Amino acid sequence: MSDIPYKIYLDENEMPQAWLNLQACLPEPLDPMLNPQTKQPVSAADMEPVFCHEAVLQEFNTTDKFIPIPQSVRDFYVMYRPSPLVRAYNLEKYLQTPAEIYYKFEGTNTSGSHKLNSAVAQAYFAKQQGLTSLTTETGAGQWGTALSMACGFYDLKLTVFMVKVSSEQKPYRKAVMETYGAKVIPSPSETTQIGRQILREHPGTGGSLGCAVSEAMEVALHTENCRYALGSVMNHVILHQTIIGLECQKAMQKYDIYPDVVVGCIGGGSNFGGLIAPFAVDKIAGEREVRLLAVEPASCPSLTRGKFAYDFGDTGRMTPLMKMYTLGSGFIPSPSHAGGLRYHGMNPIVSKLYNMGYIDAVSYSQLKVFEAAKLFARLEGYLPAPESSHAIRAAIDEAVKCREKGEKKRILVGVTGTGYFDLAAYQAYNSGSMEDGQLSEEELRSGLAGVPKV
């Protein structure tokens, strides 16, 4: 073994003190968000009634390369950060690869994933602005749990609209959120106008993320001192997630190493954007050659099979239009699909960089993903979330290529969360009843047909 330890930690005084604003480092500016009625660019003022003031400022900030992390957020971060950056010695040995594999594991905090990085920031901004409550939606529960923790800490009221079918399948996720003081309402609910309407039109529905978003936004708009918080897709969320990539960069610098390949899973893009940010900046500046590899599920392949176009961010078509890779806002991945990464669109920054060729993308169907997850769990100890396991699968395949070609590449993999809350999926895989989750041409065509003409 070399002199690189299993885990590279940073001391508190080595922790990043500013987020990296990828939007200010792009080779070309982003296409503006558009108002779907007027087709005119959306302004910061348009978004203020919905989102926290500071989040909106960040969403539109195209000038500051670094944005300081407020002291209070840094104080919260050090409660669970730095997350471990681990050299996967056991996996390397098993694969007999000359490649070096490093993984950044975001699953040791109680919310179980990287989502907490943005939840803390958004809750702090709400507190600072004098708000007294937030609303949000959650599907599987990662984001809802993270925001519950953050609101518990900052003493803010939180209402979480949880997709009804998820709240029934995952009662314990609800219990965690309630333990942190959040009010969890299965969606659709009788508590909002849109919820009542949906229930009238679709009695007995299990709900959807799109519907939960609509309810959460309605409550935020009609409650005093209240805003809505979103856990992915938006530029300010990627900004907060750059703490992941910045920690990796700093930890690797301590040992004078730099990755040749950075691999992350991708859904809405916030984890991936945060992981690659410092390396993408070097690549854009022409200072480094580094392969940035986004890994998506074959059942929801927005980058590899989607269209680069203006589309809505939600199923209910309430959001502004964003220029992004999309499968169509009506697209819903197969029910056999496990875990997150089920978003039809993609963050605009990531979309732009992919479109310009700075980012590569691959997709995997889920049996190969779970095979990699089990191997990783056995060799490296941590049980990875299904989402994260997409990146692990791709990293393993990169390392095997290195073995075949005799290349000693350094591979950095983002492992976004723990698989604790996805054991039903592991159970299905173990028992052989899991489907592979391929997307048919017909499903793809029908999704893409819904992309509006702008």
Write out the residues near a copy of itself by the rule CB under 8 A. Answer: 5-7, 9, 11-12, 75-76, 78-80, 86, 89-90, 108-110, 112, 149, 152-153, 171-172, 174-176, 178-181, 374, 377-383, 418, 420, 423-424, 426-427, 430
Backbone angles phi, psi at 438, to 5 degrees: -90, 150
Orientation of helix 142-154 relative to helix 116-128, angle to 10°:
40
Considering the complex, state which of residue 9 and residue 308 has its C-beta at the smaller distance from a copy of itself.
9
DSSP per position, 270-289 = HHHHHHHHHHHHHHHTTS--
d(CA 183, CA 179): 10
Considering the complex, state which of residue 11 and residue 28 has its C-beta at the smaller distance from a copy of itself.
11
Considering the complex, state which of residue 86 and residue 294 has its C-beta at the smaller distance from a copy of itself.
86
Nearest distance in Å: CB 254, a copy of itself: 11
Nearest distance in Å: CB 6, a copy of itself: 4
Considering the complex, state which of residue 180 and residue 272 has its C-beta at the smaller distance from a copy of itself.
180
Beta partners for residue 159, in sequence order: 135, 183
Considering the complex, state which of residue 199 and residue 379 has its C-beta at the smaller distance from a copy of itself.
379
SS3 331: coil
Considering the complex, state which of residue 65 and residue 93 has its C-beta at the smaller distance from a copy of itself.
93
Both tokens of 87, joined, read: 């050299």
Strand 157-163 and strand 226-228: the pairing is: unpaired
Backbone angles phi, psi at 121, to 5 degrees: -65, -45
Nearest distance in Å: CB 422, a copy of itself: 9
Nearest distance in Å: CB 115, a copy of itself: 13
Nearest distance in Å: CB 127, a copy of itself: 14
Confirm if 253 and 284 have CB atoms less than 8 A apart.
no
Considering the complex, state which of residue 64 and residue 178 has its C-beta at the smaller distance from a copy of itself.
178
Considering the complex, state which of residue 53 and residue 374 has its C-beta at the smaller distance from a copy of itself.
374
Nearest distance in Å: CB 299, a copy of itself: 22
Based on its alpha-carbon atoms, the radius of gyration of the chain, rounded to whole angstroms, reads 21
Q: How far is CA 296 from CA 80, 84, 342, 364, in A?
A: 27, 24, 9, 7
Considering the complex, state which of residue 7 and residue 405 has its C-beta at the smaller distance from a copy of itself.
7
Place of tokens 């709900």: 207
Task: Evaluate the CA torsion angle 286, 289, 290, 294 in order and state its sign.
Answer: positive
Orientation of helix 270-284 relative to helix 235-254, angle to 10°:
60
254 C-beta neighbours (distance < 10 Å), count: 13
Nearest distance in Å: CB 214, a copy of itself: 27
DSSP state of 34: B
Nearest distance in Å: CB 252, a copy of itself: 16
Nearest distance in Å: CB 264, a copy of itself: 21
> Which residues have C-beta within 8 Å of that of residue 7, sequence separation ≥ 6?
84, 85, 86, 87
DSSP run (H or E) holding 153: helix 142-154
Closest CA to 259 of 285, 295, 290: 290
Nearest distance in Å: CB 335, a copy of itself: 19
Please give the sequence-ordered ranges of beta strands (E in DSSP) within 112-164, or none if there are none. 133-138, 157-163
Considering the complex, state which of residue 78 and residue 221 has its C-beta at the smaller distance from a copy of itself.
78
